[in-house]
Structures are given as structure tokens and as C-alpha cells.
Structure 1
Amino acid sequence: MKRVEASQPLPPSLWAATAEPAVATPPLEASKRVDVAIVGAGYTGLSTALHLSELGIDVCVIDANEPGWGASGRNGGQVIPGLKYDPAELMRRFGPRDGETILDMAGGAADTVFGLIKRHRIACDARRAGWIQPTHSTKLLDTLHARARQWEARGAQVELLDRAQITQRLGTQAFVGGWVDRRAGSVQPLSYARGLARAAMARGVSIHRATRAQKLEQRDGGWRIHTANGPTIDARQVLVATNGYSDSLWPGLAQSMIAANSFIVATRPLPADIGASILPGREVASDSRRLLLYFRRDAEGRLLMGGRGPFREPRGASDWAHLERAAQLLYPQLKEVEYEYRWAGRIAITRDFLPHVHLPAPGLTIALGYNGRGIAMATTLGKHLAAHLAGTAQGLPLPPTSIKPIPLHALQRFYISAGVAWYGLLDALS
């Protein structure tokens, strides 16, 4: 009998408590051969698998735990197009040709998400009410308005907000202005991941939970994945899509990014009188600070507040106390409201704050590093990765890069602590 490695249970969270049921994904019990094997059943892996299946490619996805177990099932559920850099900066960095390609991909990322949801009838509380980026700093307001105008020039539906308008939209007087990007929206992120898995399996993709990839071996013009369970997978092409939960499967990969914890709290469903005053239009929001806060309402009227937290795994409710204080500073009316859920997940932060695609060996592709915009960017990159793996694309929208481990990566806890202190100072001085 084959040994089945025990997977970790899905951590408690609002999303785990309210998600659509998971589709059955039994552990891999027998060796198999496929066209493409994917390691990691998060948004990148699932979107790529679904798009490959639509191209008639035989695909197998394996995950050490279960679909959506990592950050794909634990994030804030904000579907935001674009990247961390403004269009003008991306054009400067990549030049006219590559810059245009990247902007087309990033600008249409939310369209890809909501298009998949509609086409495959994914039940995930999808709402496309827009994203608000507010600022507390009058110095930064012109920068945000310039950002909005750059996207508007590219066809995005945006709106500039002054102090009165931002106060009305958010229900707090903490900000001096901002902008709205109407391309954006929200989903129940674990339901969305499970919906992608269900749609992919309906088209013939095999997905196996509790199946950890232990070793990659080049073999006979392709690859063999050795799993901790014992069975192997032979494939012409392999995609590694483990993002913030990458391990030693490929040399240097885990050391090429910082796997930072993102912490979230959620209140109980807000009473009607309080709820009416907080994000009445149900947009999602994340502010302009380097140590940003992101917040939204869920389908049942809870308020979610997210942000950075300790690098280590959480130990108790005190690890989320800074978010609860921040929520009450923004919304004093929450003083007597109880918090129902607290959870965290690891996102991959790259040195240049851009997603990375690596092609370290023939037939092997690696993608990671969405820097907090994983729902939109991982989903849309999956579409492009599928075309690349199927051989139907002229190239990738992101120029492939080499894997470059961060110097002294073992000290990343120090990096993050120092960075938090430094960015906190810069935010205070802005």
C-alpha cells in the first residue's frame, strides 16, 4: 500500500467557515503520465490548469495540502488590476514594447477574473463595485490623482475623490482624498479557488491534495516529479506555482522572495445602523501607505481589516491587536463590535515588487511573486502561462528572469522588522 503523507488542515478563517464545499481531490495513489504537471493548487496553478484544459492539454495538479490552502484561500478577497508601479514607470522600466504588453495584461487582470467567474458560474460572492485607494497625506494626493489619470488615459474607468467624497465613500474622516478604479471588485477567495478547481476538473484536469512534490528530475526529454507519497508523475512540461509557500523543490527559489505574513481580522456582521456608515457602496479599499491597511465588507456585512503582522506564525489574539486598533481609529463606531475571525497567510514579496516568471531549464516554468495582488495577477498570468506551456504563444507577457536569491536570506526576519520600522517612519513623515 502506498504511503499517503498527511496534509495540514485548512486553518480557521472567515473564508474557511463560509466557503462553498470543496470538490473531492484524492491523494495521488498511482504513477501517471501527462502533458503538463503543475505543483501548487493556488490561483496560478488552478488558472493555468483550467486554461490548458480549454486548449485540449492533459494536465495534473498536485498540492501538499488542498486547493486554496495557502494565500489563495486566506487573502482579503480584493480583485485589483494593475501592478505596484504606475503605467509611466512600467514603460520606463521595460520600454515601449514590453511595457505595453505588461500593461495590457495587468490592466485587464480583473476582467480575466470576473470573466472566468461568469463563464464557469463560480459561486464566490463576486461583486464588482470598484477599488478605492485613499491617502492620509496631502503630499501624496497629487501622486494618486496622477496615477488615476494615467490609467484613465489607457481606458480605465476611474474617479478622483476629494476629502468630502472620500469621507462619504469610506465612512471615515481619516483620509484627505484618493481615487476609485471601477475595474476592481471582490470575491470570497477560498470559494473562488475551489470554483477554479471544480471548473478545471469538469474539463478533465486531475487534482490531487496531500501530494507533496519531493524532487524534480529531468528524464527522457521531459520531467519526472517524485512525490512524498511514492507515485511519480512524468510530464513534458512542469509548472511550479508554490508562491509564498515555496520550499527546497528547486534550488534558490524560496530564497528569491520574502514570504511575509498578511494578517486579517473580521468583525461579526455589523448592525444595520453601523453598517450603513461604512463602505456603503461595498467598494474594497487599501490605502497609500507603504505599510498599507486594506479593508472591505463581506457578503454578510462584516468589516474586514488587513495588514502586515509578525513574520512568525501567529500565537494568539494579541498578534492581530494592531489591526483592531486601526479599525477603531478609522471607525470609532466599532467600539462595541466584536471580532469573530482572525487569520493569516503568506504572500510572496519580490525584491522589485513585480511578479517573476523563471525558465531555469527546458520544460520547467516557475511563476511567483504577486506582492499582494494575487487574485487578479495570478489568475491572468495563468492564462498566459497556459498558452506558453501549450506552445500557442509568441512569448510571455513578463520577460523571464533568472532566479536570484536575496543575499543573507536567512536574515529575512531582520529585513522585515527593519523594513517595517523604516516604512513606518516614512509614512509618519509623509
Structure 2
Amino acid sequence: MSDHDQSLWLNTGKEHVASSLLTSDLAVDLAVIGGGYTGCSAALTATQSGASVALLEAQEIGHGGSGRNVGFANAGLWLPPDKIRAFLGEAAGDRLIDLLGAAPGDVFDLIQQHGIDCSPVRNGTLHCAHSPAGLKDLKNRHAQLSATGAPIELLSADETRQRTGSAAFHGAVFDPRAGTIQPLDYVRGLARAAVEAGAQVFTQSPVQSLSRDGDVWVLTTAEGTVRAKALIQATNAYHRGLPGTAPAYVPVYYFQFATVPLSDNLRASILHQGEGAWDTGLIMTSFRLDHEGRFIIGAMGDLGHAGSGAHRAWIRRKMAELYPQLSDQPLTQGWHGRIAMTSDHIPKITQIGPNALAAHGFSGRGIGPGTVFGRQMAKSLLRNDPGLLPVPAVAEYSESWTGLRRAYFETGAALTHLIKARF
């Protein structure tokens, strides 16, 4: 019940992309490894720019985090602006803040331009304060984001209750730039648009080896070879093989459950304006409705872990705590995904070789940042202009104690859910 085949997005998807197994040898301007938001955005951008493109995906388009996402097309990162500037510096920080502030607009523009059937609802998102301390943090974020020109609103507890339909929160920040989508359909739609523009997309074609032959990259699969002038690796938390270019990150798991479609009366009492919402808890909770009125609730945790029982027991209690009227609603589907988390929560671009870039570490904010990073990486390589990158590329990036930190996060989530499921 925990794997991708139980995902609501997989079972309700409408978008399809024409792909095939790589069974020949070909030469292209740009090779892309990975069929998620970053890779598909890069392939679409490069093809529209006139480049020949081959995208290779080890499974199917959106199999990784892109197809298991919550579906919030948010602006920015988890970090408030001051912390982004502290890590990147003033100029680079402001550039990233501006690019990602505009990311939801980029996403919804692509959806409209290419007719992507992904149930887009651009009615904003709500970051909800679960405690007085959470409200204090939101007030700080509101002040910093407002100073950048972001059109956000700080809502009172009563205003938050009216918007969410829940009395569980002390306030919220409303961001009208953002919205919700069916995340798997969005990435499939990007891939379809890339194919329609002329890209070649190969699925079930994991890259087994990566090497240089003069000025050309050589990517070898079980049955074919791609020779490319430039390369983008966009495997993020679902990297497979190729140990020399494996991204360094802390794996964090996030699970979701969905109800059956709710009655009209119940739907009208929950997020009646169609926002996506999440809270300020250390073990964060997200909640939203899909286009058919299913209530979808998620939190940090691995449904394949020994603590999955605690996650399952907690989810029902949490749902009833937020919305008592849902206490008897069955949860019909549950799935989880893996997130690539960096220590500073800022995505990384690494220069893995000549004319070759890799991106990872979106830390749970894949839709907007992935779309932007893929686009800008493709432009940078094709124009030979590093200044187009959303963050400066580094020669290498490492993380310490990733296994222990993964265990720490999962154990903490399981214990938190175990305790809260009982009391």
C-alpha cells in the first residue's frame, strides 16, 4: 500500500506521454537524465530553443518525487528571505528569491500554453500556525516576504478558520501567487510538450555508464547509446547507479493518504476556496482537496518503515482533529515519496564535468523550483552562460552523516505520530 502504484495521482492521471525504450545509438545537442520536473522542464526549454534533446528515465515519467508530490505550486523555498541571503550572499540570494517568487506564474503559464490537463487551481496557499510559536514565526516570514514585494497576507485566527474551515490554527500566511495541481499530470504534460516540440523521450532506460569521448558525453543503456554535446543530470532523490555523480543529500520521506470524494456539504466546509494548506509543525502536516473533492492529508514519514503503524494511526486522529466532520471518512489510498534535503535547504547545482550540470536538493519544494532550475540550466548550457543559473554551480557538494540523519528524521516522525495517536 505504500508504493507508487497506490498513489492517487497515478490512479487518477489523465496526461500521457509518448515514450519508448532506447534501443539504438543517437547523437544530440543535450542529454537529460531523469524524467521529473527538472529534467522535463530542461528538455522542453532546450527543444523549444532549437536543440536536439534525448531524455532518459530509468522508470516512467514522474515515477520519483514528481509523481508523489503534494501538488503545491508554491513561491520560494521553505527558508525566509534573510536566511537565503545569509547562505548565498545578497546578490545571489535576491536573484534566487526573485526567480522562485515568480515560479508559480511560470508553472501556470506552462500549463496554459501546453494545455496540460493537471487540474490547476490558482487560488493561493495557506501556511497555518499550529501554535503561538508558529504564529510568531509566520509574522517574521510575513515581514521578510513583504519587504521583497510579495503580495502575501497575514491572517488572524478567525480569518484562518473562515478560510480553512478548521479551528485548529492561530493564524496563517496567505500567498495568492501559489496554487494546487495534479503533480503527476503536470510532469507528464511537460514531457508531452517536449515530445511535441521534437524531444526524444526514453523510459525504462536507466543509464548504466557515463563517460567522455573527446568533447562528447557518452551515455550507455542496456540497449542503446546517446552521444551528447551537453548533459543535465536531474535525478534528485531517485538517483540510480552512476556512483561518480550521485547527489549528496539527506533522504526524508513524506507520506499522504486520500479519502473518497466527499459529499457536497463536506466539501463546502473545507478549504472552500480551493487553497492548499500546511502547518508550522516541526513534523509538518499538509492538507488539500483534489478536483473531485477527495481530502488529502500528509506528513513526514515512511510507510515502508517499521513505524508505519504509528503514521497510519496518527493520520486518522489528525484528520479528525482538523475536521471532526471527517472522522468517519475512509482513507482509501496511501503512498509516500523520498525528498532530497540539503543541510541549508537550498537546492544545489554541481558542475559534474565539461558542459554538464546536475541539480538536486529541492527539500520538498519541487514543482516551482524544479521547473525554474531545469529551464535555467538548459539555457545556461546552450548559451554557454553560467550567469543564467539560478544559483552558482559548485565543483562538488557533500553531506555528512546522511544515514544517521535520515534515521533521526524518521524516528522522530514515528515517535511524534505514535504519541499523538494515543493521546
- Is residue 342–residue 361 contact of structure 2 (8 Å, CA) maintained in 1? yes
TM alignment of 1:170-189, pairs within 5 A: 170-189=164-183
Q: Hey, what does 2:229 align to over in structure 1?
A: 236
TM alignment of 1:144-155, pairs within 5 A: 144-155=138-149
AA aligned to 1:276 is A
1:225 aligns with 2:219: yes
Q: Hey, what does 1:355 align to over in structure 2?
A: 347
Q: What is the aligned residue count? A: 416
AA aligned to 1:386 is A
Output the TM-score relative to the length of structure 2: 0.93
Deviates more, 1:195-204 or 1:391-400: 391-400
User: Aligned partners of 2:132, 2:403: CA distance in 1, in Å?
Assistant: 38
1:69 is aligned, of 63, 69, 77, to 63
AA aligned to 2:320 is Q
SS state at 1:160 partner = strand
1:59 aligns with 2:53: yes
- Is residue 263–residue 320 contact of structure 1 (8 Å, CA) maintained in 2? no
SS state at 2:32 partner = strand
Identity %: 35
Superposition CA RMSD, Å: 2.3
User: Aligned partners of 1:82, 1:104: CA distance in 2, in Å?
Assistant: 8
User: Aligned partners of 1:192, 1:253: CA distance in 2, in Å?
Assistant: 26
2:362 is aligned, of 363, 366, 370, to 370
2:108 is aligned, of 111, 114, 117, to 114
> Cα offset for 1:88?
2.1
1:212 aligns with 2:206: yes
SS state at 1:11 partner = helix
1:283 aligns with 2:278: no
The 1:252–1:234 alpha-carbon spacing in structure 2 relative to 1, beyond 3 Å, is: closer
User: Aligned partners of 1:85, 1:15: CA distance in 2, in Å?
Assistant: 27
Output the TM-score relative to the length of structure 1: 0.91
Q: Which residues of structure 2 form unaligned runs of 5+?
A: none
> Cα offset for 1:313?
5.9
1:124 aligns with 2:125: no
- Is residue 110–residue 376 contact of structure 1 (8 Å, CA) maintained in 2? yes
Deviations 1:75-110 (A, max 9, x none): 111111111211122223322211111111111111
Q: Hey, what does 1:247 align to over in structure 2?
A: 240
- Is residue 253–residue 403 contact of structure 1 (8 Å, CA) maintained in 2? no
Q: Hey, what does 2:326 align to over in structure 1?
A: 334
Deviates more, 1:315-324 or 1:233-242: 315-324
User: Aligned partners of 2:51, 2:275: CA distance in 1, in Å?
Assistant: 38
Q: Hey, what does 1:5 align to over in structure 2?
A: none
Q: Hey, what does 2:73 align to over in structure 1?
A: 79
1:310 is aligned, of 302, 311, 329, to 302
AA aligned to 2:223 is G
Deviations 1:146-202 (A, max 9, x none): 312322232322111111011111111111111100000011111111110110000
1:98 is aligned, of 86, 92, 116, to 92
1:403 aligns with 2:396: yes
Q: Hey, what does 1:391 align to over in structure 2?
A: 383
> Cα offset for 1:20?
1.1
Deviations 1:335-391 (A, max 9, x none): 111112111111211122111100022122110111111011101111111111212
User: Aligned partners of 2:381, 2:243: CA distance in 1, in Å?
Assistant: 19
User: Aligned partners of 1:207, 1:50: CA distance in 2, in Å?
Assistant: 11
User: Aligned partners of 2:350, 2:65: CA distance in 1, in Å?
Assistant: 21
- Is residue 245–residue 259 contact of structure 1 (8 Å, CA) maintained in 2? no
The 1:340–1:418 alpha-carbon spacing in structure 2 relative to 1, beyond 3 Å, is: closer
1:381 is aligned, of 373, 383, 398, to 373
